[in-house]
Amino acid sequence: MVSELRELGTITGGTSARNDLLTIAPDAVTYRAMRGIGLTCQVPSSTQITIARSSFSGYRDPQPGRDSAFLFVEGSVESGQDATWLPLAITAVSTVTACPGARGPGMTLTTGVNGTLPQVEVGTPLRIYEVMELRLYRSDGEYWLGARSVSSGENIQPMLGPLMPVGGVGLEYLDAFGGTTSDLTAIKSIGLTMRGLSQGAVNASGDQGPLTRIQEELVTQVALRNALH
């Protein structure tokens, strides 16, 4: 969970496309989870982007329908246009076509872009992401930290538990000055508290006292990717 949150970035006052946090609650968060990054090996066509397999880093290949992409588009001093990450839906993935020249195997992504893709230079970064949800939920009479891919519509699955019914997952959203904030664009770090329970009741005192479930608490704070900006 810490690794997932550390990858997120926000830009104060930025648009929704420029901020990875989508919804927040005291015991739940929905966000764009980064799944890989690669570099283009040729100029995009009107609807397709090819990245070099050798440049791609991720724990799985992009999946159409589940994953989306951010294409980096350089700014222009002449026009005053800022650099930005262009969000793109991925409708198909193919490994049939190689990169031009000696750049080796390629991975071609067909996008659902309206119009024409920008003619970015070879070597432009492309980031792959899916929308994920983490939250406290109840299953089989116990409470768990659950995760699910919102993009694929999958059911929530337990990651950690059992947890306390109240306060089992605590999320605090902090701005650059350490104060709590509900502004998605101003969040620079996330305080995380997990309160767990032992699976069964045990004799904690070592005598013949009553059996009880042991409680344990973990507290940490995660700085987001561009927390200093």
Q: List the beta bridge partners of residue 82.
A: none
Task: Examine the domain organization and report whether 59 and 121 are in the same domain.
Answer: yes
State residue 205's pLDDT score: 67
Task: Examine the domain organization and report whether 127 and 83 are in the same domain.
Answer: yes
Task: Examine the domain organization and report whether 35 and 126 are in the same domain.
Answer: yes
Would you say residue 209 has pLDDT above 80? no
Distance CA 17, CA 86 (A): 8
Task: Examine the domain organization and report whether 143 and 206 are in the same domain.
Answer: yes
State residue 168's pLDDT score: 94
Task: Check residues 107 and 12 and name the one with the higher pLDDT.
Answer: 107
- Interval 157-180 mean pLDDT: 94
Angle at 60 between CA 32 and CA 129, to 5 degrees: 15
Where a domain ends, among 131, 156, 186? 131
What percent of the chain is predicted at pLDDT more than 90?
69
Question: Looking at the domain assignment, is residue 39 inside a domain?
Answer: yes
Q: Which pLDDT tens digit goes with each residue over 135-165?
A: 999 998 999 999 999 999 999 999 999 999 9
State residue 14's pLDDT score: 82
Task: Examine the domain organization and report whether 48 and 122 are in the same domain.
Answer: yes
Where a domain ends, among 107, 131, 155? 131
Would you say residue 207 has pLDDT above 70? no
Where a domain ends, among 94, 113, 131? 131
Task: Examine the domain organization and report whether 35 and 121 are in the same domain.
Answer: yes
Task: Examine the domain organization and report whether 113 and 177 are in the same domain.
Answer: no
Question: Looking at the domain assignment, is residue 1 inside a domain?
Answer: no
The string of DSSP letters for 75-142 reads -BTTTTBPPEEEEEEEEEEE-SSPPSTTS--EEEEEE--SS----PPTT-EEEEEEEEEEEEEEETTE
State residue 79's pLDDT score: 59
- Interval 35-48 mean pLDDT: 93
Predicted confidence band of residue 1 (pLDDT cuts 50, 70, 90): confident
Task: For 55, list phi and psi in degrees, rounded to 5.
Answer: -95, -10
State residue 113's pLDDT score: 73
Predicted confidence band of residue 77 (pLDDT cuts 50, 70, 90): low
Q: Which domain holds residue 156?
A: 133-223
Task: Examine the domain organization and report whether 94 and 169 are in the same domain.
Answer: no
Question: Looking at the domain assignment, is residue 26 inside a domain?
Answer: no
Task: Examine the domain organization and report whether 80 and 154 are in the same domain.
Answer: no
Question: Looking at the domain assignment, is residue 4 inside a domain?
Answer: no
Would you say residue 114 has pLDDT above 80? no
Q: What is the mean pLDDT of the chain?
A: 90
What is the tally of structural domains in the chain?
A: 2
Contact 170, 193 (CB under 8 A): yes
Task: Examine the domain organization and report whether 205 and 120 are in the same domain.
Answer: no
What percent of the chain is predicted at pLDDT more than 70?
92
Task: Examine the domain organization and report whether 73 and 91 are in the same domain.
Answer: yes
Question: Looking at the domain assignment, is residue 67 inside a domain?
Answer: yes
